Amino acid sequence: MTTLTLHATGPVDPAEAWSRYLHPARWSSWSPYITGADTDALTISQGVTGRVRGPVGVSVPFLVDEVDAATRSWRWTVQVGPARLTLLHWVASGPDGGTTTGLRVRGPLPLVVGYAPAALAALNGLVRA
């Protein structure tokens, strides 16, 4: 198992970035590799389950482990075949305005390293208009 932390900063207001996380229907609007999210929940909360759809028909199940609105952070687990990734996301005010967002991903080394470029692209999309 390995852990990798990524960050991105951009002009979007932290409340807007947090709202983009909270609503699975919006995930595909800022993440270039998410084509949709299938869940009955309008917003994420502890215990919400669903599937994230990606390119070429890839679909992986997820479980939201926790959401902390006060700190604008949330953690979820994604099942990728026999492996699991645990992803902790957070949103904070940027150093010069806007938003800084972070992601700490934990899982098997090849999966974490392979996911890093797509994750960084998504983080950058989250904090941009």
How far is it, in rounded angstroms, from Cα 109 to Cα 100?
A: 25
pLDDT averaged over consecutive 10-residue blocks of the chain (129 residues)? 97 97 97 95 97 93 98 97 96 95 98 96 96
2-10 and 36-38 beta bridge pairing: unpaired
Contact 99, 17 (CB under 8 A): yes
Please give the residue range of the domain that contains residue 70. Answer: 2-126
- Residue 21: per-residue pLDDT: 97
Q: Please give the tally of structural domains in the chain.
A: 1
pLDDT of res. 129:
84
The CATH code of the domain that includes 18 is: 3.30.530.20
Q: What is the pTM of this model?
A: 0.94
